Structure 1
Amino acid sequence: MTDKELRRAARELQAGPDGVIVTPGAVFRALGKRPRCGGCFGSIIPIIHEEAPETPSATRTGPETSPKTGPKTSQEKKNEG
């Protein structure tokens, strides 16, 4: 596997609609490979982080997220309408 392949797989996983948490194992599976011992994971993790979007998903806000508390409670959803 090349650095270029790893980066492409990490970007594709992060851009996917499934909200996959990108791990070294997920990158291997996306490339159709299986790790032998996991010793290379320590080298793959920084590549995954380098390819991560500027805004981590934990800090994003949207219709289902409250900026103060994270995911909205059922009461907050009821109060909206």
Structure 2
Amino acid sequence: MIVCQCMNIRDTEIRAAMDWMRAADPDTIITPGKIYRALGKRADCGGCLPLFLDTMATTESYEVPANLQNLRDRKTRRPVNEGR
């Protein structure tokens, strides 16, 4: 199925790009921009973005790596006040 008519991107190409990115770097965060770049294309009108995101969400390799999940919940060090 064609997801992006402007750039002629199919759902199979999106899934293949995601699988390739995950295989190359298991800890990567996959975004639509990274997929466009991996396919050598650019977003044009943005009308496809909802379908593009739905396609990404239904792909197994979309999952956020375990070591990067819940980063907001982890306690972080408070920045040192430098008197500014």
Query: Where does structure 2 lack aligned partners over 5 or more consecutive residues?
Result: 1-8, 68-72, 77-84
Question: Going by fraction, where is helix more abundant, 1 or 2?
Answer: 1
Moved over 4 A (4+): none
Partners of 1:24 and 1:55 in 2: CA distance? 14
**Which residue, 6, 21, 39 being the options, matches 2:29?**
21
Q: CA RMSD in A?
A: 2.7
Q: Percent identity?
A: 32
Q: TM-score, normalised by structure 2?
A: 0.56
Query: Mind listing any 5+ residue stretches in structure 1 that lack a counterpart?
Result: 62-68, 74-81
| Equivalences, count | 63
TM-score (structure 1 length as normaliser): 0.58
User: What's the offset of the Cα at 1:18?
Assistant: 6.6
